[in-house]
Structures are given as structure tokens and as C-alpha cells.
Amino acid sequence: MTPDRASLIEAGDDIQKAVARSIELIGGLRLKGGEDVVIKPNLCNAKNPHGMVITDFSILDSVIRIIQEKTKNITVVESDNISDTADNRAAKSGLLDRLDELGVGFMNLTGDEYEVHEVAGKKLRLPRTVLDADYFVNLPKIKTEGHVSVTLSIKNLFGVLQRRKKSVLHKKLNEILPYLAKNVRHDLIVMDGLVAMEGNGPIIGTPREMGIVVAGRSPVTVDALCAKLMCYDPTEIPHIAKAHEMGLGTMEPEVLGDDWERFICEFERPYSLKASIKSIGSIRKVYLPG
């Protein structure tokens, strides 16, 4: 069996070129034309200190422009969370202005029609727009995360759920996340590794400049590669390991593009003393006015 492929490209000064190359190396978009495309960035907060919290708009721009060569039916989605409504986060972050320039719509999934799924004793509302998409694009960001160690493509799916107070699900993440990875189709993943986050992620960590773009089609394949870049063993991260057991990708992908081992760097783990001290400045920038 041929290993799933992923690509890693050093971004340099031309993000558009790097994104295009990363997609080209995994076989291109594979769009026929005219499909309804749903794009899920990481938009967990409105503020983005050091560019480390949410998906970089240059990545989003680049992916949208490439897809627009095949179809204009593109919707960027997010749902409400404890920090704010998705609409407010999209407006305050500048995302809505950027999408308006591109002629692309934004949808708050919280008001969408939904299916109820029960996982690990919890009822989940999965939006129909995501489930029915002709083509689903996941645009996560490389970050550490206190509950499941890393937040990559699989964890980014948590943001589609119709539940504002998602913290009530945190104890069941290792069951819920693999379930979402299996039930939400993945046609393209482009990982933002320009400025990553280490330490007390996913919102108040500290920046780690990596300057890379990673692409693939399998959430396990992409997440396993990115975990290794962060000096984590993906087999020891329960939600990735379980998704792998469910057949959602390989832990040992064929990596095309630049030499990925050059970009390995040990990320500060969440809630270490060092991480907590470093996060003080980010707390001020994220939560205080101004």
C-alpha cells in the first residue's frame, strides 16, 4: 500500500506560490468545476497577537484564489464559541472585509440545519452545510493545546459543532475528534505553519516562527507529520492514534517538497512553568481592550 502523501513547502516571501506548490505536489485540487466548496479556517478568536492564534489570511486568500479558478461557489464557515459569536469574531478579526474583497460569503454554522449524532454519551449537532459539502477544505494552524496536546486539522473540526460552550465536551475529545474526522469529508487540508503557537495554546501561548505550509488530504497524515515537526510522537496523541486506527491516514507519510526534517523544533508543552510565564504577555493582548 502506497503511503498517503503530504507536502511541506518553505513559504519564503511568496505565500501564494508556496500554497500553490503545496497543493500541486499532492495532485492538485481535483475539482471538476462548479462544486459547492466549504472552507473551515481556525477562527477561534478575534484577536491574533503575533499572527499565532488564527489561520493567517494570506493562506486563506491563496487557497480561495486557487479554488476560484474552478468554482465561485465558496463559503467560509465557523460556529459560535465561548469567546464570541462567529459573526463577531469574523467581523472584528477583519475576515469579513477580506472575504468581501474576494467575493466570498461567510456562514455562521450555529444557525444552520443540523443532524444530531451521539458520541461518547454526548449529543453533537453537526451542520448540514458541512456534511453536504461537495468539497471540504480544512485550514488549521499549528498550535499546542492544553486538552489534547496539539490542535491541527482534526482538532480544527471541533469548531464546526453547534454548541457555544464547547468546554463541556473537553473530557470526551479523544472520542469526539476521531468521530468528526471520519464523518466530515476531507478533500484538501492546507496547514498554516507560518507563525505557529507553543506553550499554553490554543489562544494564549507564545509564537514560534516556522515559515512553512503543509498540505494533504488525510487528517491523520497531515497531523502526524505536524506533530513530528513539533517533537511529539503522534502515536502517543490519543485522538490522532484513534483516527489512524479508524483508517483515516498513515502515521508515516511520504513527504514531498522541502526537507521536512529541517523544520523540526521542540515546542514548549502546555502548562509547563516556562510556558505559563511566557504566556503572560499574550493574556494581556488577547483579553484586555485595545
Q: What is the pLDDT of residue 285?
A: 82
- CA pair distance 24, 58, nearest whole angstrom: 18
- pLDDT band for position 3 (50/70/90)? low
Average pLDDT over residues 34-62: 97
Query: pTM above the 0.85 mark?
Result: yes
Digit-coded pLDDT (tens) for 161-200:
999 999 999 999 999 999 999 999 999 999 999 999 999 9
Rg, Å, the chain Cα set: 17
- pLDDT band for position 54 (50/70/90)? very high
CA dihedral 113, 119, 121, 123 (to 10 degrees): -10
Q: What is the pLDDT of residue 273?
A: 79
Q: Is the pLDDT of residue 1 over 50?
A: no
Q: Is the pLDDT of residue 21 over 90?
A: yes
- CA pair distance 210, 197, nearest whole angstrom: 10
Q: How would you write 65-124 as a 3-class SS string? A: HHHCCCCCCEEEEECCECCECHHHHHHHHCHHHHHHHHCCEEEEHHHCCEEEEEECCEEE
Digit-coded pLDDT (tens) for 68-126:
999 999 999 999 999 999 999 999 999 999 999 999 999 999 999 999 999 999 999 99
Residue 197: which of 148, 269, 264 has the closest Cα? Answer: 269
What is the CA angle 187-171-152, rounded to 5?
30
- pLDDT band for position 272 (50/70/90)? confident
Q: Which three cell numbers stand for residue 242?
A: 484513534
Digit-coded pLDDT (tens) for 88-101:
999 999 999 999 99
Digit-coded pLDDT (tens) for 206-261:
999 999 999 999 999 999 999 999 999 999 999 999 999 999 999 999 999 999 99
Q: What is the pLDDT of residue 2?
A: 45
Q: Is the pLDDT of residue 8 over 80?
A: yes
